[in-house]
Structure 1
Amino acid sequence: MSTPNQTDASTASKPQDNEVEVSGILEVLQNKSGQLIDPKRNGKTTPSDPFVPRELIKRFKLKQGNFIVAKALHNPRHPNPKVRFIETIDGATIEERKRRFSFQQMVSIAPEEQIHLEHADGRVTTRIMDLFCPIGKGTRGLIVAPPRTGKTTLLHDIAAGVLQNHSECHVIVLLVDERPEEVTDFKRSVDAEIYASSNDEELSNHLRMAEIAVERAKRMVEAGKDVVLLLDSITRLARAYNASSGKGGRTMTGGLDVRALEKPRQIFSAARNCEDGGSLTIIATALIETGSKMDDLIFQEFKGTGNMEMVLDRKAAELRLWPAINLNASGTRKEELLLSGKFLTGAQFLRRALAGQKIEDAAETMIDRFSQTKNNEEFLKLLER
């Protein structure tokens, strides 16, 4: 870094006795100052989180979600050290960062590289997704799920598949208004960066976690990384924004403020494949058949905004068929860009063969066929017989 761009340049070359190295994800506070939070603490803050002065944030145009490595001064009278000298931002020096595009400047194109979810253990769930609801780098996908149809388990499987097959992808899990035991299960079983606000926490924390997670993902994409963000659920996130929106706007059916969906829609729409490198893939769950008119309206607002939908079926789930997929209603736009010839041909053949069956019968037939083989290569050979 050049001397003019360094903080406290006159003392930068003279380490002080109370100087410590700090790092963390920048959270910009309401007063324009910031703090560095440890990604291993799932977005939680502590009194010892390093303090970032607003002057530094303004000078270096720091953004929420930047991962910063810095030097800070530790004052015995205060638990949190004060950042005085920035070393790197998202792995780059100040000068290197200037050459990067901002997220809004990046050109978005259709997903072209498939993210393979098939597990070494041959589990059927992700194999079916690979063929019938393929996910690419930059996919904006919805898992449409009635209650108790296995959406949370499906997210576990997706995360495990990405981590197993794509070491280049960084996985972020965002859990909003989730049951505390589900949050604990994710933390213990998924080796990912997890931001969680369970249903026993304040509404403001739901919104804070969502915004930190998404901004963190954007900063990584600006650095050329491939990021996969799993969101459970877009419905509960929209409810939280609706509850925090006040009563100033027009209210629609079910008590939904017309302005409440603006921020959730922006978050979901952030998914993209960037032409110059980097991608943000977002797979979000959407709740249906909950008995709430608000939930139905939220789903209708997001329906069709993505480029992948996997629809789960209550009747199939009641028959203990996993995944409880409604094959006819599920699919990916421009799947031909993601699936190679034989996989595309095989998926289309099976769709036509099952098109006339009931949803639960088609799911049972498909699961039975997949269970006879260990992987999708073997499955396609079985279809050719």
Structure 2
Amino acid sequence: MSHPEESRRMSNTASGVIEIMERRGGFLRNPDRSLQPDRTDPFVSPQLISRFGLVTGAAITGTVQPGGKGPSLTGIETICGQTPEEFRARRPFAKLLAVNPAGRFHIGKGGNPSMRIVELFAPMGRGTRGLVVAPPKTGKTRLLEELTIAIHDDAPEARIVVLLVDERPEEVTHFRRQVPAEVLASSSDQSTQEHVRLVNMCMAQVRCEIECGHHVVVLVDSITRMGRAFNVHGSGSGRTMSGGLDSRALEIPRKFFGMARNVEDGGSVTVLATALIETGSRMDDLIFEEFKGTGNSEIVLDRQLADSRVFPAINLRTTGTRRDDLLFSPEELNAVNKLRRTTIDMPPAQAIEGMLKLLEKYPTNEELLKSLA
């Protein structure tokens, strides 16, 4: 069996995500390499870019021709899964009309206890902008992995991207092996510039997808490390606040998180990002405060629950979704509100342990909610 890279070089077709270099054409980057530059990347001439109206982030398939300096793209078949004519006719991102999230992800149907609890207490739909708020060692990475698998099982037609920023190399390998998603990663042994470039490329790619009416889900680990990277990258560009955070450092991370939306008569972008708290870093606290309240869903993990080995370590009192009435039927909403009222005054450990017993008693969330009707 030939190696994928060898097959890619020998084939007369190529696919990838275009990165346009200033006044020098562009290159098709390979998502399997997390869009990192490579000498085998096909060159895209300025003439092709102009002729087809290409923009950085567009996923392209086309014909290539080998050359002395490397392969070159000679023709384009599809752009973001569309014909070139359809791509040119797409609606620009700025003109997309954002509406409330809709179409709940039924992530609890697989029976995973964590996913069943999240679906009841912090339901997510197409266009959700959610945070997983987590102190260290509370299971955020495992929860993100479970969310990826559950969303894929419920919505296989959606494009799912896992973005790992400044992540431990072994975690990158683990995600690539375990989740049915496109994993774009920069590991902790890479430079700040590489972290920043990957975030910008991912954001450009997702913008192109939603402009073309597609449904995309992006899971980010973590928005905190993304903020740190942009703070180092843009150091000195603005006023330095307490904690060493540059006043302009979070402009791109805010744009990335704010990109999540459900488009009227169009596609959607769902962004679920982890945010670190209680790390002992003033900068991390400031980054979290910048994003707190800008989302429409929060899953809050609890250090005391994790220290007591109670998992999932979800604080049911502080976990929730804005306008969850748009994601549940009236009967479901009534039952979920009853469930919340029974747990609101309980200590976090008692609440989550009580929920786990209910999940054992009722094999599905549908049965559980019917029992509360």
TM-score normalized with structure 1 length = 0.91
Deviation at 1:32, TM superposition (A): 4.8
Q: Label 1:296 to 1:32 Cα distance change in 2 as closer, same or farther (>3 A).
A: farther
Q: 1:184 maps to what in 2?
A: 173
Q: Secondary structure of 1:328's match?
A: coil
Is 1:280 matched with 2:284? no
Taking the aligned partners of 2:135 and 2:73, their CA distance within structure 1 comes to 47
Q: 1:10 maps to what in 2?
A: none
Q: How many residues align?
A: 364
Deviation at 1:97, TM superposition (A): 1.9
Aligned-residue RMSD, C-alpha: 1.6
Q: Secondary structure of 2:151's match?
A: helix
Alpha-carbon contact 2:102-2:326 (below 8 Å) kept: yes
Alpha-carbon contact 2:196-2:233 (below 8 Å) kept: no
What is the one-letter code of the residue matched to 1:219? C
Q: 1:324 maps to what in 2?
A: 313
Q: Label 1:315 to 1:19 Cα distance change in 2 as closer, same or farther (>3 A).
A: closer
Alpha-carbon contact 2:53-2:88 (below 8 Å) kept: no
TM-score normalized with structure 2 length = 0.94
Q: 1:372 maps to what in 2?
A: 361
Q: 1:341 maps to what in 2?
A: 330
Q: Deviations over 1:81-103 (max 9, x none)?
A: 11232222112222222221022
Alpha-carbon contact 1:316-1:363 (below 8 Å) kept: no
Q: 1:26 maps to what in 2?
A: 18
Q: Deviations over 1:229-282 (max 9, x none)?
A: 000000000000000112131111100000001110001000000012100000
Deviation at 1:119, TM superposition (A): 4.3
Deviation at 1:42, TM superposition (A): 2.9
Is 1:94 matched with 2:84? yes
What is the one-letter code of the residue matched to 1:67? A
Q: Deviations over 1:82-131 (max 9, x none)?
A: 123222211222222222102221111111211111242x1111111111
What is the one-letter code of the residue matched to 2:105? I
Q: Which runs of structure 1 show a deviation greater than 4 angstroms over 4 or more consecutive aligned residues?
A: none
**Fraction of identical pairs, as percent:** 46
Q: 1:55 maps to what in 2?
A: 47
Q: Secondary structure of 2:149's match?
A: helix
Alpha-carbon contact 2:105-2:123 (below 8 Å) kept: yes
What 5-or-longer segments of structure 1 have no aligned partner?
A: 1-17
Equivalent of residue 163 in structure 1, options 129, 146, 152: 152
Q: Secondary structure of 1:235's match?
A: helix
Deviation at 1:31, TM superposition (A): 4.7
Taking the aligned partners of 1:177 and 1:268, their CA distance within structure 2 comes to 17
Larger Rg, first or second structure (1 or 2): 1
Alpha-carbon contact 1:173-1:230 (below 8 Å) kept: yes
Moved more, 57-66 or 185-194: 57-66
Taking the aligned partners of 1:373 and 1:40, their CA distance within structure 2 comes to 41
Is 1:117 matched with 2:107? yes
Q: 2:212 maps to what in 1?
A: 223
Q: Secondary structure of 2:299's match?
A: strand
Taking the aligned partners of 2:204 and 2:31, their CA distance within structure 1 comes to 13
Taking the aligned partners of 1:32 and 1:240, their CA distance within structure 2 comes to 27
What 5-or-longer segments of structure 2 have no aligned partner?
A: 1-9
Alpha-carbon contact 2:231-2:249 (below 8 Å) kept: yes
Q: 2:34 maps to what in 1?
A: 42
